[in-house]
Structure 1
Amino acid sequence: MSTRSLPLRPNLDQLKIQANELHRAHREQQPSAAARIAAHHPEMKQLSPAEVLARTIALADAQLVIAREYGFDSWSTLKHHVELADAVAKLSPHPRFDEAVAAMDAGDLDRLRRLIASDPALVHARTNLEPPYHYFTGATLLHHVAGNPARGRLEGKLPPLPKNSPEIARLLLDAGADVHARTLGPHGGDTMGLLVTSKQASDADVTGPLIDVLLQYGARLDLKSEGALDASLQNHAPRAAEKMIELGAKADVLAAAALGRMDLLRGFFDNEGRLLSRPRRHGQEMADRDAIGLAMLYAYVREQHEAVDDLLEKDGNWNMTGVNNGAALHRAAFAGDLTMVQRLVGKGADTSNRDNPFNSTPLSWADHNKQDAVFQWMREHCRIDLHDAVTFDLRDHVEARLREDPSSVNTRLDHWVIPQGTPLHWAASMNREEAAKILLEKGADPNILAGNGMTPLDVADVDHAAAVRSLLEQHGGKRTAAAKRARARRRPESSVPYRIDEKQRLLQVRQSIDEKEWDTILAVMAEQRLTGLDANGQMTDAVLARIAELDHVTRLELNFSKQITDDGLEHLARMSRLQQLDLSWLPGISDAGVANLTPCDQLESVSLMGTPTGDGAINALTGKRRLRHFKSGNHVTKAGLPLFHQFPAFKIWEGREPAFSLMTFTPEPTSLLLRGSFTNEGLRSLVGLDGLFALNLDHDTLAVTAAGLEPLADLPHLGWLGFDATDEAMPRIAAMPHLRFLMCQDTVAGDEGFVALSRSQSLEYIWGRRCYNLRGRGFSALATMPALRGLSVSCKNVDDEALSTLPRFPALTQLMPMDVPDAGFRHVGRCEQLEALECMYVTDMTDAATAHLAGLSRLTSYRAWTSRITDRSLEVLGRLSSLERLLFENIAGITDAGLAALARLPRLREIELDMLPNVTSEGVASFPAHVRVKSLLS
């Protein structure tokens, strides 16, 4: 089971070093190494760490463990993956590949024919060349005919596969496309393999004709092997299975069930319900109960209800897996199908079944998908295993499992985060103090090693589980040597459960606080009359009731506090001074709960983003004269949009000066974010909101198209727009007369769209992030924009010639050089007007890139996240006397020595440091007193 993640561009030499280190640690008799080996070596799974240390292991054994920690079966498979990454990295994308795919998606044969005629090599070109690598890495145009993967079709971002897909395939094959060519990634396949597992092709009813075309050109199609139809049926491609049956493939009981072919299905059983013909898999016949159970799973996943009912009347193994992942009980729990859950449990399905890639139970699947009714029913009616009981803090189940089997207190279980972890490891990870106390009282070993070599105390440290950490220390818990070294490198964690931002008068709660620490927090809030609280996702209904007693609180950041319900929101009705309220990503609230904000007339900002709220919440906030910023929940409808005319700040322009920048996502003076089921027609009701400055519609689930933007041009002060832009939408956006900022994150627009956008005379900022269809022509066009001050677009597919236009951007002062290679920074270094550089999404950036920045004499702000720069870069920056603001996050190459170079900057006013593993508290303290230092080192 995978417990570690490979870097996007793995290095085989580094992996060899890790194997050597593990081999040496075993020779040195380190228990943590033994625990890792026992967890991942197939021949040592049943051994204790002591028994592993008593064995002699070869370097090949250590290599196998490293491979398995990264999720590979063997060292050779891991090595092949690294070599694949190296090979793919040498390939270059074809500049017109996306244009050809767009023609295919539109069914435009003439356009595709012209593109291929102008460059015949296009049919052999490959795309999807960036990590992470998957089955579609290195796909050709012919592979795209299959519509697998969906590329947004399931979400409605693209239309269905065109009906002339067979003619498109024939055109490509006639032009020289290789019908046998395989994609390059792990588990890659040829076009036929992609086609017979394509739900999109099946939905568009083009599978059969496409199969015929591919066969005519020599493609291979397996019709004879055991389970030849399985892949099609598991991937919701019934048209492929039907075509294969037509061509001679044999339909067994599993296929009959998946297709809902009751005529075939009943023929596989006698009058007593006994199976007459067993399906064969892996060279042998399946047992009757297994075959029936698996057939029922196929039918359930394919929503063949009559087949499900028929099979459930028979004697089957209802714990079978085999349709991608999960047994039927997992799938029903995840779907919130309580009736099916009850039927399966009644028939003896295993409620503790962890036979799936996530090693999780049906209860966990229900929780993960927020299926509260299923979760509650299973909690009340099913046996919950000890690890789940700890995870979900179910004391009654914890005690019941330990009464049934006291020895289970140290039972190990694989998990994708903690391999071979005990219940105590899980209690530490989740900071379950009560469960940890019970486990320790019942004999849990506080120093047992998990399969990642960590003790429960190590886990508590990593997950900031303060309460459980204290308990473990009281019971003799120890840290491993590796954990001690890591802890020594970190700044000592404060015992105070909060930090105070004096500038904002805001108390920020520390991660994983003890419930009793709220007494201290509330006392400090009252004593210092602090006006703001950031709960760090830990607010509860009970604590919110106590907060409501503090009459000086005007700001509450309660986002991600999943324990809050509508009962807790009732207390907000008493907080009449409340001005700023963030309730985003709270799954347990509704419009009824938000209605408690009706008396809060001082509100200026409210966020309900990611919550199951809608029109009712909007209605509760109408008439509030100060409310200038609102982010809606997920269920706004067409009927709710006219209510914004009753938001005075949105209705009438008050003359405030707009304030925003490239990195500002709540612009002033007014902003509105909308999510829901409304369409183009609904947006027309926003006309007349003369006070609205910023409107965020940038989400791929919204059913708003380019045409829906037309009425927005009539909003007289709309200066900031977020939209999931397309080539069709860009001309309409460019025509908006007052627009100054465009948020089009991860836009699918290409050069055509960006060329159209470049005609805007008013746009000052563009935020595009992963806009991988942007090429040189579109980027060069942006250099003609007279007002463009800030730019954040991916330059992954922008050539160096186009990058060389950067110094010619007439107004550019703020830049995020996303995906710019080190050599490309020589063009950035020639942008003499630059005042701010945001080095985000440049993970491969090194000191070579920074060296090009030495001449930026006007640069006042530099921020860098997750890159490969070292102290050498900080030495370069330390000579830029204009710098005033700095940020460095998640950069291992920075040490105290590098910070010392920055401490001498004459104009430096503030610096933020986070996740710098080789920086100590001494390094942080090296800055003079006038520099404001914000440090969250880990």
Structure 2
Amino acid sequence: MPISDMPARPHLDSFRRQARALQRAVRAGEPDAVARVARHHPDGVSGDDSGLQLSAAQFVVAREYGFASWPRLTRYLETVAEHGWDTGLGTAAVEDPAEEFCRLACLTYSREDGPGRWAQARQLLVRHPGLTGANIWAAAAAARLDDVTRLLAEQPERVAERGGPFGWRPLYYLVYSRFDPAVPAEPVRTAARLLLDAGADPDEGYLFDALPSPFTLLTGVFGHGELGPRRQPRHPRWRALGRLLLDAGADPNDAQTLYNCMFSPDNSHLELLLEYGLGTGDGGPWKERIEGLSTPAEMLRLQLRWAVEHHQPARVRLLAEHGVDFRSPFEGDGPAWSPGDGRTPVELAQLNGDTEIADYLLAQGAAPPAPEPVRELITAAFRADRSTVDRIRAEHPDALAEARRSRPGLIVWAATQAPIDTVTLLAELGFDVNAYGRGDAPVEEAWETALHHSSADGNAELTRRLLDLGADPNLRDQRFDATPLDWARHFHRPATAALLEPITAPPSSGE
């Protein structure tokens, strides 16, 4: 796993300088540099530090960024140079009306996304109705079929030209546009078909801020993401565009689409992609370009884990019916929210108290898990089953202590996934109500407290219960340095904000 984060705008010269600096530091005998080589190079450091070759230092730098070798790092940087995109471009206004329309009209997968931005794009188009006449990128974003047709006829090579404020090609602007939620279907579909027939690549994509998962045309079609469907919605004509791209040869194994859409229980994106072969094949051109992308089968296993842990039974059934492996344990490296911890899907369902999913998987042939007191205790607690908790504690006196040791942030996860009675029971069992954890996945990572999540969700009843149990309203989360009250205000939750305002200390004068 990488220990260094890839910069937003990586350049090979920067990594060369890092390698040379490491070589000089090792030759000078600096302990930290010597330790880096010892940790990442299979041959370590020889007795004569002055002999470290530049190639060895380059190898170490590559490994620190998660690449198997220097050539693989350089290949990735070449891919970024060709396909990279800086989301910061979406924040700066431009003077040209056509360019500004493109900037405002499109999803950027940044904090700038949202209906207010697209309303500005509509207003700009009203003020400058001719802005699409000479700009094929604006014409595509506005789905102005007559302008797209004429501009392509004048210069067919425009179909492959990168331009506009983001340096995208015309079809990408069309697919990522969100300026009009009622945009008519026919000009959108016909303009997209015209661009594809003229040679647009159905697998076009960009690496946003050098992240290794490509945001493709399909990603733009299906939309969604961490900011939610209001600020990052699907394209209004997503189904027609999706079929058009898939019929044109777009690879359905689109990891970013799967990630963006996994937060919602709706499965329509999966149904369409599965129809076109999601989970099969070699992963397409992006898998060939980028080392480390998941295989098609791995992508669907990640989806299965998320669905099991987030109470999405319809998605579990859909994936199982399409041949996704629901019997094997999750092993090997995975995203932080989907670790290879050796648990099977049935075990994970039981750990979350989800008997519906667990029973379904068992009925489909999954093996029943071996007895495990800690898992069974947590399972009973998530069902708020006090009698079973008491029985397990009596039969296995060490189970509770081990559960608290291995899952110190469990109450944070429970606050987002389980009934209030579960949170109460966990607190009574000695789980720290002020523990830090994650509320989006059942993994141990010290991000925020349960009170942060109840406040952000606007759950006044749970917020009161947590406060009664001893939750501290002045604790700050570890990512944004914000209190639960700050979270309530940020997410516009007046009910929980009203509860927290009288008991939250005002910021100090230095803040």
TM-score by length of 2: 0.47
Tell me which of the two structures has the higher relative contact order, counting C-alpha pairs closer than 8 angstroms and 6 or more residues apart.
Answer: 2
TM-score by length of 1: 0.28
Considering fraction of residues, name the structure with more strand: 1
Larger Cα Rg: Structure 1 or Structure 2?
1
Considering fraction of residues, name the structure with more helix: 2
